[in-house]
Amino acid sequence: MATALKNLSEYNQESVPSAKDMRFAIVVSEWNSEITMALLKGVRETLIKHGSNENHIKVDFVPGSFELTSGARMVAEAGTFDAVICIGCVIRGETPHFDYICQSVTYGITQLNINYDIPFIFGVLTTNNQEQARDRAGGKHGNKGNEAAVTAVKMVALRRRAFGRS
């Protein structure tokens, strides 16, 4: 569903399992920091709202969205996390750079999901302009960070059910 038809911050709270015993890593791009810091705020607030302990949330930063894949891999290999949430923002410019970065980040996070035993969550905005990014980072379309946090909690719960862990 297109974001214009859905608010990223609206969801059925009763459908989200408790995040009480879950551990999360969040890897955040410093590029477009006005947007990524707003997304990070949404992730943290939503994880805590669903029972996560602040001490079970680790935040690390990488220079740009292209580095999210490498940063997420390093964090996953160095820690004992139930999920890694990747937060970034790529805004279309005048060159094909946007297409290459978006494709690389999407492919990289997909590969992490295939190659590792924990979920890696795609919390990357890919917008045509700054206004669209603001609208999706706490503006009129809600906050993609909320959506990424809910996705992480649900995927950790699915993994635990699938492998017989409560």
Catalytic residue check, 50: no
50, 56, 97, 141: the catalytic one is 97
Q: How far is CA 85 from CA 4, 92, 95, 118, 164, in A?
A: 23, 22, 28, 11, 23
C-alpha 129/C-alpha 7 separation (Å) is: 18
Which residue, among 113, 112, 123, 142, has the nearest Cα to 3 in the 3D structure? 142
Which amino acid does the sequence have at 133?
A: A
Q: How far is CA 128 from CA 6, 91, 98, 134, in A?
A: 18, 6, 9, 11
Which amino acid does the sequence have at 54?
A: E
Q: What residues are annotated to the active site?
A: 97
